[in-house]
């Protein structure tokens, strides 16, 4: 599969590029389209650098004009890197290299590198162009799209940041072959979320396509199956990315419809605050999706079958659907309710949660006001 598919974003054509073996394509498209710069700076982490940095570096290097420089910076991997210190260290590096406003930052990595580099780009010299090369499934279908950039503080995740749109988002599906299994499931949670709110027929593809998707990610099985699996993976990532791109185009700053992407995240974020780092984001969202479907059912908006289907699909992709006793203890109901109070979606004390009508459709085109008693009822079950 050598084709490159593109998706427009915020009315700019060809922002998102999706395909396999894209390194050379990335180098030529980047140097052709983000070209009035003196410096390109690739920023990545210690896990990705030995895997992909050389190839990307050499590909871009081959396309540089004589007056252009290509620099690299490698940061420790992990969520701790999304912090003020790391932001300052990149800025100091750029300043010491005499980089000015004609610098393009290249984020090669998962959501951690993407969010951090995006935020550096948003404030360095009052804003420089940047591109995303997401390397996790989660970053491809979710964090690289939409322009939300941020760092964490001791008070919580993503509390300092800004909206800053990347000039290009290059999804090179080939890099997913080295992604650990648990990280694949982490990304699947967001894909399941997306199809649960957007399309029953796409949800069915997930229900039926596990073997094919797996063969594409792990690179085994015979050539015919591999080809079908790769086409299926590309189709799923493309559909998911296109859905998010469309929502972001209609509501960039999340006033209403972009709030739908938070399905599973009202409970999910609160669980994450209590259980991270032992539990990954997608694992907390998995429980959040089930509990928000249960809330929808409790309020009379969807059938029991909807919950069951969601649960089975999450299980199929090896996501948790129950808390173990230890995590349950750690959660503490009152603390969860307390954390849910500071959800960015809330309007004052009014909690707003995305409710499901069926697999593939939501009750409203935005999150719905829900009373505390109902939220608590589901938590206590």
Among 14, 25, 73, 157, binds ligand NAD (CB under 6 A): 157
Query: Least distance from C-beta 287 to ligand NAD, angstroms?
Result: 17
The alpha carbon of residue 99 and the mean position of all alpha carbons in its chain are separated, in whole angstroms, by: 29
Query: Least distance from C-beta 153 to ligand NAD, angstroms?
Result: 13
For residue 359, the SS3 value is coil
Q: Are 177 and 191 in contact (CB under 8 A)?
A: no
Of residues 1 and 374, the one with the C-beta less far from ligand NAD: 1
User: Which residue of the set 63, 82, 258, 301 is catalytic?
Assistant: 258
Q: Which of 267, 305, 303 is nearest to 287 (CA)?
A: 267
Among 148, 230, 265, 269, binds ligand NAD (CB under 6 A): 148
Please report the sign of the dihedral spanned by the C-alpha atoms of residue 164, residue 22, residue 3, residue 210: negative
Quick check: 357 binds ligand NAD (CB under 6 A)?
A: no
In the structure encoding, which two tokens stand for residue 193, read together?
């979320």
Among 19, 110, 209, 268, binds ligand NAD (CB under 6 A): 110
For residue 75, the SS3 value is strand
Quick check: 139 binds ligand NAD (CB under 6 A)?
A: yes
**258 in catalytic set:** yes
Query: Least distance from C-beta 79 to ligand NAD, angstroms?
Result: 6
**190 in catalytic set:** yes
Between CA 263 and CA 268, with CA 266 as vertex, the angle to 5 degrees is 90
Q: Are 131 and 168 in contact (CB under 8 A)?
A: yes
Of residues 111 and 268, the one with the C-beta less far from ligand NAD: 111
User: Which residue of the set 87, 172, 262, 351 is catalytic?
Assistant: 262
Quick check: 186 binds ligand NAD (CB under 6 A)?
A: yes
**79 in catalytic set:** no
For residue 182, the SS3 value is helix
Quick check: 194 binds ligand NAD (CB under 6 A)?
A: no
Distance in angstroms (rounded) separating the CA atoms of residues 358 and 360: 6
User: Which residues are designated catalytic?
Assistant: 126, 148, 190, 244, 254, 258, 262, 265, 269, 281
């Amino acid at each position: 599969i050598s084709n490159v598919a593109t998706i427009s974003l915020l009315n700019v054509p060809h922002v998102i590029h999706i395909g396999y073996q894209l390194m050379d394509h990335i180098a030529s498209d980047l140097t052709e389209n983000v070209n009035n710069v003196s410096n390109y700076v690739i920023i990545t982490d210690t896990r990705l650098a030995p895997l992909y940095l050389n190839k990307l570096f050499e590909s871009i290097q081959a396309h540089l004009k004589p007056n252009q420089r290509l620099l690299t910076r490698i940061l420790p991997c992990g969520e701790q890197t999304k912090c003020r210190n790391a932001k300052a260290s990149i800025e100091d590096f750029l300043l010491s290299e005499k980089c000015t406003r004609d610098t393009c930052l290249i984020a090669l990595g998962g959501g951690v590198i993407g969010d951090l580099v995006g935020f550096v780009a948003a404030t360095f010299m009052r804003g420089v162009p940047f591109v995303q090369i997401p390397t996790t499934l989660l970053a491809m279908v979710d964090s690289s799209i939409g322009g939300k950039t941020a760092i964490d503080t001791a008070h919580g995740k993503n509390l300092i940041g800004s909206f800053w749109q990347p000039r290009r988002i290059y999804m090179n599906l080939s890099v997913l072959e080295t992604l650990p299994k648990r990280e694949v499931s982490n990304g699947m949670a967001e894909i399941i979320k997306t199809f649960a709110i957007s399309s029953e027929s796409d949800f069915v593809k997930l229900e039926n396509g596990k073997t094919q998707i797996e063969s594409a990610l792990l690179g085994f099985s015979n050539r015919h199956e591999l080809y079908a699996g790769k086409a299926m993976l590309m189709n799923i990532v493309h559909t998911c990315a296109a859905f998010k791109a469309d929502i972001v185009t209609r509501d960039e700053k999340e006033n209403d419809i972009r709030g739908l992407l938070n399905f599973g995240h009202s409970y999910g974020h609160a669980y994450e605050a209590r259980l991270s780092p032992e539990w990954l984001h997608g694992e907390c969202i998995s429980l959040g999706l089930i509990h928000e479907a249960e809330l929808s059912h409790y309020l009379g908006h969807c059938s029991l079958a909807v919950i069951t289907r969601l649960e089975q699909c999450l299980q199929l992709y090896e996501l948790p659907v129950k808390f173990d006793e230890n995590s349950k203890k750690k959660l503490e109901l009152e603390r969860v309710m307390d954390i849910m109070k500071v959800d960015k979606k809330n309007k004052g004390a009014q909690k707003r949660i995305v409710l499901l009508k069926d697999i593939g459709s939501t009750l409203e085109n935005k999150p719905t006001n829900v009373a505390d008693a109902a939220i608590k009822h589901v938590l206590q079950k």
